[in-house]
Structure 1
Amino acid sequence: MKIPAQRYEVSEMQEYVERSLKELGIPYDKDYMGNIYRLIPNTPLLSAHMDALTEDYEIGKLSNIKESYGIIKGEGNIGADDKLGVYMLLELLKEYKCSFVFSVQEESGREGIQYFLSEKAKEVAECNWGLVLDRRGKEHFIGSLNSYCTVEFSEAVSEVTGFKEEHGSLSDADYLSNYISCVNLSIGYQNPHSKDEYIILKDAENSYIAARKMCSALYQEKFKNPEK
């Protein structure tokens, strides 16, 4: 019998994010749902989610996580979706003064980002564009084909990063894109939500470089909202 999907607790990840932001000297707020954020007008908005999902209780028991031949894997779901996105977002904040949101409950229906936007939609709309770090695979992004952004923004992202646009599945970009043009960038993990999840370090590094290129080249540009 298949055990129903269960959410990981996010309390430890929230503590990690808050501790990291404090160590970096970056101010932040935390809302009722537990979303951690900072909103600065006329800057890009970076986003990752702090919860993870597994399809089986046993899969969720981590052991022997290791790196070998450029691949990070463990005996169980390692939560790369979206711990890898959280890590990349924190690294980007060391270099770029951006708006950000570390969301909760993305895997259970994106309730966290919906609550965040119910409180902060006006401030989010003042951001220049959005970058969600939450896509499996490599060298592509989800954008205008999913109505996450304008064609102009997708073309700009493709030109700057060299990544290709593809159709994709659900993410917090579904709701952020109601207020700003945004894309969901592939960040180098594979087989999410399963015991066979893994990270290819070279792909993750290339995605981080692509995110840096976006923050450097497009930082001050303001893109229109997509038509819904």
Structure 2
Amino acid sequence: MELLRKLYKVYSPSGKERAMIKLIWNYTKRITGTKVETDAAGNLYITKGEAESYPCIVAHLDQVQRLHSKDFLPIETGEIIFGYSSRNKRQEGLGADDKNGIWIALKCLEKYDTLKLAFFVSEEVGCVGSGKAVMDFFNDCRFVIQPDRRGYQDIINEIGWTSLCSPGFLQAAGYKKFGYKETRGMMTDVQELKERGLQVSCVNLSCGYYEPHTDHEFTIKKDLMNCLSLVEHIIENCTDTYPHQTEILDRRWRSYDEFDEAVDEIFALLDQGELWSVEDLYYMYHSVFPQLDMEDYRRIYTEYYNLNKIEYGEQKL
């Protein structure tokens, strides 16, 4: 966990990722056979080895949290890691969204002879880095994996009504052996890459962080390690190229801005302790958020109660 603790200690808010870039650059230089490049936006591109095709992992460099004291430390208690400032006697967010993804990428870089990585700036403020990414970098990639999803069991195959991957890739990935299940997700870099013309399958994976974007964020190490094991399994077993032509399933809205706003509103309502059904939520808010359908409200409702089970220790560890 030494590398993970180093990543957590680096404060990297959107637009100020220089310290994180420096850490990754210096860490990568010591790994034989790697080439590190950057672009005008500040994104990092890493290639290891020579191959006709490469597995590829991407993650983002920035975090949301504003609190990060000079004495900030990641604290490990059994299976859980959280951030804490002794001087201020308060919990502070780790930025595990998406430092967990960075950690997985770098661990795989150490292990495998051929691999590509891309690290993007300013994902949290609208996928700025991936929106300016050098797309030619991905021309010889077999698939693209982004570990950038809270929780422990989601494999995202669709974001914002944009399909991400082929059924053949999902079958080859063997995700069910690791307790994962297919679901839809929210805006992140792989969606941006697909909409900019990425021609291979990609997915976003839960990687063991919880309560992202808050100062109560924490990581469950077991879930992080399970994600790493799944990523390694995909790299070792998905040796073909998995082409996938982006299919825009519904272009009612390209981003999840309205969905995010609805999540905030509905979570605040449910926090008041009243018992509401999915149907109640739909009839209360459908005029406010007309682009959301009943399935969206069902997803928000389920996500809220799943998060509260985790908070009160009901998740099976």
TM-score, length-normalised on structure 1? 0.87
The answer to which structure, 1 or 2, has the higher relative contact order (CA under 8 A, 6+ apart) is: 1
Q: Is residue 85 from structure 1 mapped to residue 104 from structure 2 by the alignment?
A: no
1:27 and 2:35 equivalent? yes
- 1:95 is aligned to 2:111: yes
- CA deviation after TM superposition for structure 1 residue 64, in Å: 4.3
Task: Give the greater-gyration-radius structure (CA).
Answer: 2
- Equivalence for 2:278: none
Instruction: Quote the offset at 1:168 in angstroms.
Output: 1.1
Unaligned 5+ runs, structure 2? 1-12, 84-90, 248-317
Q: Cα distance 1:121–1:85, how it changes in 2: closer, same or farther (>3 A)?
A: same
- Please tell me whether the aligned partners of residues 58 and 118 of structure 2 are also in contact (alpha carbons under 8 angstroms): yes
Q: Which secondary structure state, in structure 2, belongs to the residue aligned with residue 202 of structure 1?
A: helix
Find 1:210's aligned residue among 225, 230, 247: 230
Instruction: Report how far residue 8 of structure 1 moved.
Output: 6.6
Per the TM alignment, residue 11 of structure 1 is displaced from its structure 2 partner at its CA by 0.9
How far off is 1:215 after superposition?
0.7
In structure 2, what is the equivalent of residue 9 of structure 1?
16
Amino acid at match of 1:154: L
**Separation in 1, partners of 2:54, 2:219:** 30
Counterpart of 2:45 in structure 1 is: 37
Unaligned runs of 5+ in 1: 1-5
Shift of 1:52: 0.7
The answer to whether the Cα contact below 8 Å between 1:71 and 1:201 also exists between their aligned partners in 2 is: yes
For residues 162 and 221 of structure 1, the distance between their equivalents in structure 2, rounded to whole angstroms, comes to 23
CA distance in 2, matches of 1:44, 1:32: 24
Instruction: State the 1:38 CA deviation.
Output: 3.0
Letter in 1 for 2:245: P
TM-superposition CA deviations, 1:76-115 (whole Å, max 9, x none): 1111011111111000011121111011111111110111
Are residues 123 and 66 of structure 1, via their aligned partners in 2, closer, same or farther at CA, if it must alter by over 3 Å?
A: closer
Deviation at 1:167, TM superposition (A): 1.3
Number of aligned positions between the proteins? 216
In structure 2, what is the Cα distance between the partners aligned to 1:171 and 1:41?
A: 28
Distance in 2 between residues matched to 1:32 and 1:41, nearest whole Å: 27
Q: Structure 1: which 4+ aligned runs deviate by more than 6 Å?
A: none
CA–CA separation in structure 2 for the residues paired with 1:227 and 1:216: 25
**Identical pairs, percent:** 28
Helix, strand or coil for the counterpart of 2:111?
A: coil
